[in-house]
Structure 1
Amino acid sequence: MTDASAPQWDLPDPFTLEITVRDDDTDRLGHANNVVYVRWLEDVSWAHIESLGMTWELHEATGKAMAITRTEIDYLASANAGDRLILGTWLTGYDGRFRSSRQFQLVRPADGKTLVRAVSTHACVDMKSQRPSRAPREFAEILAAAAVDGGAGVAVK
Structure 2
Amino acid sequence: MSNPTLNWMLDNPYVQQWHIDETHIDHYQHVNNVAYLSQLESLAWAHSNALGLQFADYQALNRGMVIKRHELNYHLPTHLGDTLECATWIVHCDSKLTLKRQFQFICPKRNKTVFDAITTFVCVSLDTGAPKRMPKQFVDVYGKACEQQ
TM-score (norm 2): 0.96
What is the distance in 2 between the residues matched to 1:56 and 1:74?
Answer: 28
**Deviation per residue, 1:124-153 (Å, 9 max, x gap):** 00000000000101111011100002xx3x
Aligned-partner SS, 1:44? helix
**What's the offset of the Cα at 1:114?**
0.4
Q: Does 1:38 align with 2:37?
A: yes
Aligned-partner SS, 2:116? strand
**What's the offset of the Cα at 1:24?**
1.7
What is the distance in 1 between the residues matched to 2:123 and 2:91?
Answer: 16
**Deviation per residue, 1:65-106 (Å, 9 max, x gap):** 000100010000011000011100000010110000000000
Indicate the residue corresponding to 1:81 in structure 2.
Answer: 80
What is the distance in 2 between the residues matched to 1:117 and 1:85?
Answer: 12
What is the distance in 1 between the residues matched to 2:64 and 2:89?
Answer: 18
What is the distance in 2 between the residues matched to 1:128 and 1:9?
Answer: 38
Sequence identity percentage: 30
Question: Structure 2 regions of 5+ residues with no counterpart?
Answer: none
Would you identify which runs of 4 or more consecutive aligned residues in structure 1 move more than 4 Å?
A: none
What is the distance in 2 between the residues matched to 1:24 and 1:100?
Answer: 31
Q: What are the within-5 Å matches in structure 2 for residues 123-142 of structure 1?
A: 123-142=122-141
**What's the offset of the Cα at 1:6?**
2.5
What is the distance in 1 between the residues matched to 2:76 and 2:15?
Answer: 19
Contact (CA 8 Å) 1:6, 1:109: kept in 2 or not? no
Q: What are the within-5 Å matches in structure 2 for residues 6-155 of structure 1?
A: 6-149=5-148, 152=149
